[in-house]
Structure 1
Amino acid sequence: MALKSKTGIIIAFILILLFIGFAAFNYVRQSEKENITVNKTETVPVQVAEARLTNLQRVLELTGEIKPAAVVDVHPKIGGEIIEKIYVETGDYVKKGDLIAVLDDDVIKAQLEEATAGLAAAEAGLRQSEANLRASSASLKSSKANLELNKKELSRVNSLYEANVASEQELDRISAQYEVAEAQYNAAEAQYKAALEAKNLALAQADRAKAALNQLQILYGEYKIYAPISGFVAARYVEQGNRTDTAKPVIRISREDELKIVCSVTEKDFPHLKKGMEAEITVDAFPGKVFKGVVSVISPTIDPATRTAGIEIHIPNKEYKLRSGMFAHIKLYLGERKALAVPTESLNKMPGTGSYFVYIVKDNKAILKNVKTGISQGNITEITDGLTEKDLVVTRGQNRLYDGARVSIEERGAVGSEAS
């Protein structure tokens, strides 16, 4: 009996506790309902601003990889020769004309010595032939003068003979002298022609020897490899002792004092681009720092496959802060346009989405409006859909609002400057 009595007491105690808990729960629930009712009837003070047409900059934002203005792979012009010395390493700065490498030149030097000796011999032969030609020319001139003199004497004696003043014996003597002078002239002329031919042959030999020497000298110059442009050695492909291959570069030189970014713009933005337009460039390596560039190349055509056009933005880089390979963000300002804008502080982001909403005030009530945004400039943001001009958007106090909440406007703000 005692055990049953205790069990009954315990059960009764539990029931009493359950009753008290249920009563407390109902009390709290009723209190919350009353608070909600009170809150729903609360008037929330807010600050508002009109959505207005405002002059905004048309900004084109692009991205691209920074590249050097020029990159040159330096190839040897002679293949199969041993690289005797390389004077640069990766990362070195070289100026245009600096010596980069030299090749083993023992063979070419021997060929140069032989060609130099050959030219000297050819020039000596040419000088001798020229001397012979001058002597032959003098002999020809003398024999010609002697022939002319004998010709005149023969004519004179022949006239005297016809006048019976000179004898036949005298005429025969003068005729014989003329024939000797003519034979001497013919021999001198033949000797002159032979000397002239020999001189021309010697001149041709000298020219060939000079050309051969010049070719070897040019070839000898190729045994030294010079930097064709100024820049940094971006890569070195060979080592000392390797044999050259005209298809394989020795080094790569990257010009970094001027850089470029190659990117594409859409057909819609293409008409607004102009050469010389300034570009603002930022990179992750220098947060907050803006570098200036210029639109230097604009493709004259649109690619029909992508509906885009290529452009090049050139960036001065005299201090070498930027380097090729960096990823860049670019802003191009394409001119002003009118757009509906609101203070950025009026925008509220929906959790878990990229969408925005605002509260507008109408008839002393807050109305939730989903909006689509465009560009932001300073403390204002473009609204592309969801609002109309002169809508009153809530800029302060929206954290206490819900759709349909009662509000009182405490202050009116302004946004931008109204478009004319």
Structure 2
Amino acid sequence: MKLKSFTAFLLLAFLASCSGSDKAKNESAKEDNVPTVKVEQVSEQDVDQIQTYTATVEPYLINNISAQMSNRIKAIYVDEGMRVSKGQKLVVLDNVNTDSYQLQISTAQAQLSQLEADLNRAKELYRIGGGTRQQVEQMQTQVTAARNQLATARRALRNAQENTVLTSPINGVVTARNYDPGDVTGQLPVLTIGRVQPVKVVINVAETEYAKLRKGMPAVMTFDTYGDRKFTGVVSLIAPTVDTNTKTFGVEITLPNADGAVLPGMFARVTLNFGTARHVVVPDKAVVKMQGSGNSYVYTYSDGEVHYVQVQLGRRIDNSYELLSGVESGTYVVVTGQSRLANGIKVKLAK
């Protein structure tokens, strides 16, 4: 009887020890399943409010070199892309029209001489009583008309002579050539000359930034052609109206371009600094970007739990991001271990 009791006691003790061991194993397993994360506390900083835009370089001024009337081109001395100087001969046109204008002048001069002689005779007859005042006045009117006709013929000849040789009104670059020697000029200009010292770029700025702009504020530009070299221009014109479709307005920036390095058609990246603002800055490794949606999130940590918070990103600053909204200063954010996280779960901090 005593042997049976002792055997039963041993069995109960064994079962109790097994139960305790299983419970400890379960607790250990639960502990192992809690994700381990690293966190950092974020704070507000002064952040430069820099915006970057893209644009294409345009000539500061454009002149179309055209003939006043249709004419045949005898010679063109420049081609697209060439630099020209003010007053430089660019195009020579056929001067066939000048002969006809010269003939018109000779005819008008002969008519005027004849009418002036007739006027003098009419005045003499009137003086001696052989004519009337009305005849003198009529002859005077004819002489005046003849003088006007001669002046018109001379002006036409002068215009034709000026139109025969076309010169550049500015220093610049040939941006377009529409004809070749032997062609007859039409509606298109023969050449287009662009002034490239200075040049300009026109960017489209968001309506929300209108109040931050001012004439004369600096703009920094870079061009793929020149790598990291920076060019500085100024805001010279701010459009007074907003495009209703894009909710943007045009801003013209003038670049002095003293060395002529920047040419029309180049692709420019324009940076404007709108001052500074106090915003929360978080490490870039804290930001989780949702592919396809364009949304960004961070995990915040408090009292052993993490929570999924959507944020609005501003500028990237080295290894950090400016946050425009979503997280307050002093918050702890997860910087490693996000892959195992879900909203509201318990976590433990890495030592």
Q: TM-score, normalised by structure 1?
A: 0.61
CA displacement at 1:402 relative to structure 2: 8.2
CA displacement at 1:124 relative to structure 2: 7.2
CA displacement at 1:230 relative to structure 2: 2.6
From 102, 109, 130, the equivalent of 1:119 is 109
* CA 1:385–1:83: 2 relative to 1, 3 Å: closer
SS of equivalent to 2:260: coil
From 200, 225, 228, the equivalent of 2:166 is 225
Partner of 1:146: none
Quote the Cα distance in structure 1 between the aligned partners of 2:315 and 2:88. Answer: 50
Within the alignment, does 1:296 sit opposite 2:236 as a pair?
yes
Query: Structure 2: which amino acid aligns with 1:93?
Result: R
From 183, 208, 216, the equivalent of 1:242 is 183
Quote the Cα distance in structure 2 between the aligned partners of 1:361 and 1:407. Answer: 13
SS of equivalent to 1:261: strand
Quote the Cα distance in structure 2 between the aligned partners of 1:57 and 1:104. Answer: 62
Quote the Cα distance in structure 2 between the aligned partners of 1:361 and 1:213. Answer: 91
Quote the Cα distance in structure 1 between the aligned partners of 2:162 and 2:326. Answer: 74
From 96, 108, 116, the equivalent of 2:86 is 96
Partner of 1:330: 270
Quote the Cα distance in structure 1 between the aligned partners of 2:144 and 2:269. Answer: 68
SS of equivalent to 2:225: coil
Quote the Cα distance in structure 1 between the aligned partners of 2:207 and 2:291. Answer: 33
Query: Structure 1: which amino acid aligns with 2:211?
Result: P
Residue identity (%): 25
Q: What does the per-residue CA deviation read over 1:267-315, in whole Å, with 9 as the maximum and x for residues that have no partner? A: 2222222222221222222222222122222222223333222222222
Partner of 1:205: 146
* CA 1:308–1:114: 2 relative to 1, 3 Å: closer
Q: What does the per-residue CA deviation read over 1:123-147, in whole Å, with 9 as the maximum and x for residues that have no partner? A: 47637855884xx3xxx9xxxxxxx
- Range 367-376 or range 301-310, more displaced: 367-376
* CA 1:306–1:188: 2 relative to 1, 3 Å: same
SS of equivalent to 2:226: coil
Query: Structure 2: which amino acid aligns with 1:104?
Result: D
Partner of 2:49: 58
| Alignment gaps of 5+ in structure 1 | 1-35, 141-185, 409-420
CA displacement at 1:55 relative to structure 2: 1.6
Quote the Cα distance in structure 1 between the aligned partners of 2:97 and 2:241. Answer: 54
CA displacement at 1:339 relative to structure 2: 0.5
Quote the Cα distance in structure 1 between the aligned partners of 2:139 and 2:244. Answer: 71
Asked whether the 8 Å contact 2:297–2:309 carries over to 1, the reply is yes
Query: Structure 2: which amino acid aligns with 1:206?
Result: R
Quote the Cα distance in structure 2 between the aligned partners of 1:301 and 1:107. Answer: 48
Q: What does the per-residue CA deviation read over 1:216-262, in whole Å, with 9 as the maximum and x for residues that have no partner? A: 222332222222333111222211122222x1221122222222222
Quote the Cα distance in structure 2 between the aligned partners of 1:205 and 1:352. Answer: 84
CA displacement at 1:64 relative to structure 2: 1.9
* CA 1:198–1:384: 2 relative to 1, 3 Å: closer
Q: What does the per-residue CA deviation read over 1:5-57, in whole Å, with 9 as the maximum and x for residues that have no partner? A: xxxxxxxxxxxxxxxxxxxxxxxxxxxxxxx99xx7xxx9x8x8642221212
Partner of 1:105: 95
Within the alignment, does 1:310 sit opposite 2:250 as a pair?
yes
From 322, 325, 334, the equivalent of 1:382 is 322
Asked whether the 8 Å contact 2:97–2:160 carries over to 1, the reply is no
Runs of 4+ in 1 over 6 A off after TM superposition: 348-363, 365-371
Partner of 2:58: 67
Quote the Cα distance in structure 2 between the aligned partners of 1:338 and 1:308. Answer: 25
CA displacement at 1:358 relative to structure 2: 7.2
Say what the alpha-carbon RMSD is for the aligned residues. Answer: 4.2
Quote the Cα distance in structure 2 between the aligned partners of 1:130 and 1:78. Answer: 40
Within the alignment, does 1:277 sit opposite 2:268 as a pair?
no
CA displacement at 1:378 relative to structure 2: 5.5
From 74, 84, 87, the equivalent of 2:77 is 87
SS of equivalent to 2:276: strand
Asked whether the 8 Å contact 1:112–1:217 carries over to 2, the reply is no
Number of equivalenced pairs:
317
Quote the Cα distance in structure 2 between the aligned partners of 1:350 and 1:218. Answer: 69
CA displacement at 1:340 relative to structure 2: 0.9
CA displacement at 1:113 relative to structure 2: 4.8
SS of equivalent to 1:268: helix
Greater per-residue strand proportion: 2
Quote the Cα distance in structure 1 between the aligned partners of 2:96 and 2:327. Answer: 84
Asked whether the 8 Å contact 2:222–2:230 carries over to 1, the reply is yes
Query: Structure 2: which amino acid aligns with 1:215?
Result: A
Asked whether the 8 Å contact 1:366–1:407 carries over to 2, the reply is no
Quote the Cα distance in structure 1 between the aligned partners of 2:117 and 2:207. Answer: 75
Q: Which has the higher contact order (CA 8 A, sep 6+)?
A: 1
Asked whether the 8 Å contact 1:359–1:366 carries over to 2, the reply is no
Quote the Cα distance in structure 2 between the aligned partners of 1:50 and 1:347. Answer: 11
Asked whether the 8 Å contact 1:86–1:239 carries over to 2, the reply is yes
Asked whether the 8 Å contact 1:83–1:102 carries over to 2, the reply is yes
Asked whether the 8 Å contact 1:260–1:314 carries over to 2, the reply is yes
